[in-house]
Amino acid sequence: MRLGVYGGSFNPPHLGHVKAAECALSRLALDRLVVVPAGIPPHKALPDGSPGPEDRLEMTRLSFSPLKNTTVSDIELRKNGVSYTVETLEQLQREYPGSDMYLIMGSDMFLTLEQWKDAGRILRLARPAVLVRGAADDAGVAAYASMLREKYGAGCVLVNNDALEVSSSELRELLPRRGGVHMIEDKTYAYIIKKRLYGAKPDFDWLRSRVFDRMLPGRIPHVKGCEAEAVKLARRYGADEDEAREAVILHDITKALTLEDQLQLCRNYDIMTDAVEQAEVKLLHSKTGAAIAREQFGVSDRVSSAICWHTTGREDMTLLEKIIYIADYIEPTREFEGVDDLRRLAYTDLDQALVKGLQMSIDDMKSRGIVPHLRTQAAITWLLEHSPQDKGDKEKI
């Protein structure tokens, strides 16, 4: 059995890792590839803020899942203390007795191999399979391989690797800036975003694609309009534009679901609802959408709250909540009597625009025989009592 062993910190695993493994599988004619995420690497400490072992294992499993005849092993992650390659190879030799092992590594690591613990034992257990790119230092790799052959009898193999060159350290810098999406397997990227590993924030095009796939086509222009409006309002009033964009892209993610599906989500996520909400799908989608945004896309509490209250409003709304509510109401595809006046007001007095929009919502629901939620009237009352302009008017009276 030809067995490949591919180790690394995989922090995070990326397409460069996957493509390199794919090259090794093919060019070494491997029967099985074992990918081994390092526990505590001996050559360098994991950077501060790195995910824990469980997350790195899951990311690695997701990343390498498209490859046939490939297994991701937790052999080093289960081990206490530093992970030494020689011990890993000995364990794998016991698990795959009689196998012809190839230790797959990059050229930089290969050139330090004699410095590894029990290097001679490593070279008796496995043949180094060195990933090379035809670069200027390949002559150095060949010379080092020749030296190992003479000194240890090691049969090194050079594997041409024309895969995308990606750096995990570069990715760790890109992810908090909404970058890196095209360098990572999609399932792995979704996992990173869900758990906000590395301080990651979602690429907006990726986020839109994920959300729009769950929507009826007719809803998409509304969401795009809301996004443009929310960003302008955030800029006008000094709110976080990125948070406004995240919230508004996600605000209608469960809008297409039936009432029963909404209620099932409420049960799944332990969402408290009242009698009015349980009878009206329009009210439920804001709460279920907030739960999905939080659980599946890892949004902050601020963003989740803005999604949650975008249909009814509430007392003492945050600036972001106000912006998402009014952007949803006045976005460019909306056409109803008074919308142009409301649009103008939104950019001069946000609170007064909210009062007007909330009241219009109550009037509209009553006209259609729908019971407005008491929370909406409470939001109006709170705004009227706390509006600086309103307090001034009361003093004059």
Same domain, 320 and 390: yes
Q: For the domain that residue 27 is a member of, what is the CATH number?
A: 3.40.50.620
Q: In this structure, is residue 206 part of a structural domain? A: no
* Per-residue pLDDT tens over the stretch 102-126: 999 999 899 999 999 999 999 999 9
281 to 258, 261, 284: CA distances (angstroms): 7, 9, 5
Same domain, 126 and 248: no
Confidence label for 230 from pLDDT (cuts 50, 70 and 90): very high
Same domain, 229 and 152: no
Domain boundary among 104, 136, 165: 165
Minimum mean pLDDT range among 251-260, 274-283, 352-361 = 274-283
Same domain, 140 and 249: no
Same domain, 250 and 156: no
Same domain, 246 and 151: no
264 to 77, 254, 273, 292: CA distances (angstroms): 37, 12, 12, 13
Residue 215, φ and ψ in degrees, nearest 5: -110, 155
Q: In this structure, is residue 74 part of a structural domain? A: yes
Share above pLDDT 90 across residues of the chain, in percent, rounded to a whole number: 81
* Per-residue pLDDT tens over the stretch 171-197: 999 999 999 999 999 999 999 999 999
Q: In this structure, is residue 195 part of a structural domain? A: no
Residue 338, φ and ψ in degrees, nearest 5: 95, -5
Residues 342-348, mean pLDDT to the nearest whole number: 97
Same domain, 261 and 133: no
Q: In this structure, is residue 179 part of a structural domain? A: no
Q: In this structure, is residue 282 part of a structural domain? A: yes
Q: For the domain that residue 223 is a member of, what is the CATH number?
A: 1.10.3210.10
Mean pLDDT of the chain: 92
Same domain, 256 and 358: yes
Confidence label for 82 from pLDDT (cuts 50, 70 and 90): confident
Residues 46-56, mean pLDDT to the nearest whole number: 92
* Per-residue pLDDT tens over the stretch 369-379: 888 899 999 99
DSSP state, residue 397: -
Confidence label for 40 from pLDDT (cuts 50, 70 and 90): confident
Minimum mean pLDDT range among 188-202, 266-280, 303-317 = 266-280
Measured CA to CA, the distance from residue 284 to residue 182 in angstroms comes to: 35
Same domain, 148 and 261: no
Domains contained in the chain, number = 2
Minimum mean pLDDT range among 8-17, 138-147, 211-220 = 138-147
* Amino acid (one-letter) located at 45: A
Residues 54-59, mean pLDDT to the nearest whole number: 96
Cβ 333 vs Cβ 221: under 8 Å: yes
Q: In this structure, is residue 204 part of a structural domain? A: no
Cβ 350 vs Cβ 379: under 8 Å: no
Same domain, 61 and 157: yes
Same domain, 275 and 139: no
Same domain, 257 and 139: no
Between 342 and 395, residue with greater pLDDT: 342
Minimum mean pLDDT range among 3-7, 96-100, 166-170, 386-390 = 386-390
pLDDT at 393: 41
Minimum mean pLDDT range among 4-18, 270-284, 302-316 = 270-284
Domain that holds residue 41: 2-165
2-8 and 100-106 strand pairing: parallel
* Nearest partner of 336 among 369, 306, 361, 366, judged by Cα: 361
pLDDT at 135: 62
Bridge partner residues of 173 (DSSP): none
Does the pLDDT value for residue 48 go beyond 80? yes
Cβ 56 vs Cβ 35: under 8 Å: no
